[in-house]
Amino acid sequence: MTEIFTGSFTQQEPIPEAGIAAALRVLQSGRLHRYNVAEGETAETALLEEDFAAITGARFCVALSSGGYALACAMRAAGVTAGARVLTNAFTLAPVPGAIAAVGAVPVFVGVTEALVIDLDDLERKAASADWLMLSHMRGHLCDMDRLMAICARHGVTVIEDCAHTMGGSWRGTPSGRFGVAGCFSTQTYKHANSGEGGFLITDDEMLAARAILLSGSYMLYDRHRAAPAPEVFERVKYLTPNMSGRMDNLRAAILRPQLADLDRQVARWNARYAVVDAGLRDTPGLTRIARPAEEVFVGSSIQFLLLDWSDEAIRAVLARCAARGVELKWFGAPEPAGFTSRYDSWRYAPSERMPASDRILRAVVDMRLPLTFSEEDCATIARIIRQEVAGVSEQAA
């Protein structure tokens, strides 16, 4: 009998009861705006920033309206100006080059390897042409951060990290977001903490933090932040920094705080599911699994594999056959963007040179979410289905 999977790839777990209770308290108070506090009260958003700074080891944290806003805010606060060339990954999602374009800068794409990380040889070649790198840890894959930071130091390139998929991840014990001048995180529904939309910016740089808080729309209420620089730091920039409102509110902060407290356990649960699927795909004919280096602690909230040098027709057949059995796969190699999948050549506001070696890899990338609503048994079923359909199409092509 042919197995059919009936789970939903977009259904997340419920918000924890503690988060629901905290959200109700905020709703009952009516004080959703982060700066609307009663006498002697500390806003949920200020407490959340303290929580996340402590988790990551950062001096400062700003809670924002989205991960994409955090990226643009970090660039503005760090001093990226209109016309500046900003290096970034060829394999990323549209909000990354979108944020670069939003500040008037120019995205310059760097290639991708079969490990789905930034091509450090290509970065070495291009680093002299730019002062900035927006490093996307796309789909939770961390590159050799020691080598990357050495390259950037050698060429005077300032790094800002896109950590939308690496909350809870690390390289050689250093959390993602702690290598560059700033790290940016997302709390959109499909990320590692769920507030619908939301984000964080972390940094140790007091001037960058002060500018980010003012940019986020603090008006002159920056003293209501706790994971923030001293008031005298704001005095130096408060008349020079525009208000570009992108604050997080107390309702989302209340939902998030209990999730952050449970992050380590959730990471372990995701990784257990990832391990089941990865093991189930081992030695599948025609399928290339992604190697994970020992130095990396990753969060397996999604999994990718490559169908290298397959024809478009064959890849579409795999996707269709898996879909018919209830397994939802996304293909980054499709000529036209679909849903959240797109490639560097899709973003025509950011003209780019062709990168044949990277194009070969991007054509092959197949992606799948692993929500925590799946059991490990579900994951074993999903792996069997993918394995059977990839093998079946491979045999037909042969």
Measured N-to-C along each axis, helices 17-29 and 250-261 cross at an angle, to the nearest 10 degrees, of: 160
Residue 173 has pLDDT above 80, yes or no: yes
Taking residues 323-338, report their average pLDDT: 94
Cα(76)–Cα(93) distance, integer angstroms: 20
Cα(151)–Cα(154) distance, integer angstroms: 5
CATH 3.40.640.10 domain locations along the chain:
17-261
Residue 223 has pLDDT above 70, yes or no: yes
Residue 316: φ, ψ to 5°: -60, -35
Q: What is the mean pLDDT of the chain?
A: 97
Torsion over CA: 160, 163, 168, 173 (sign):
negative
How confident is residue 395, by pLDDT bands cut at 50, 70 and 90? confident
Percent of the chain past pLDDT 70, that is, above it, reads 99
Integer angstrom CA distances of residue 93 from 68, 88, 139, 204, 318: 10, 11, 9, 26, 23
Of 252, 140, 249, the closest CA to residue 191 belongs to 140
Taking residues 171-182, report their average pLDDT: 98
Q: How high is the pLDDT of residue 397?
A: 74
How confident is residue 1, by pLDDT bands cut at 50, 70 and 90? low
Q: How high is the pLDDT of residue 313?
A: 96
Integer angstrom CA distances of residue 287 from 77, 143, 198, 387: 43, 22, 35, 9
How confident is residue 335, by pLDDT bands cut at 50, 70 and 90? confident
Taking residues 12-37, report their average pLDDT: 98
Taking residues 355-371, report their average pLDDT: 97
One CATH from 3.40.50.12780, 3.20.20.70, 3.40.718.10, 3.40.640.10 for 17-261: 3.40.640.10
Taking residues 87-103, report their average pLDDT: 97
Per-residue pLDDT of 45-90, as tens digits, reads 999 999 999 999 999 999 999 999 999 999 999 999 999 999 999 9
Q: How high is the pLDDT of residue 298?
A: 98
Q: Which two tokens stand for residue 126?
A: 């291009």
CATH 3.90.1150.10 domain locations along the chain:
263-397
Residue 264 has pLDDT above 80, yes or no: yes
Cα(31)–Cα(16) distance, integer angstroms: 21
Cα(166)–Cα(184) distance, integer angstroms: 10
Taking residues 384-392, report their average pLDDT: 97
Torsion angle, alpha carbons of 120, 142, 334, 390, to 10: 110
* The CATH number of domain 263-397 is 3.90.1150.10: yes
How confident is residue 267, by pLDDT bands cut at 50, 70 and 90? very high
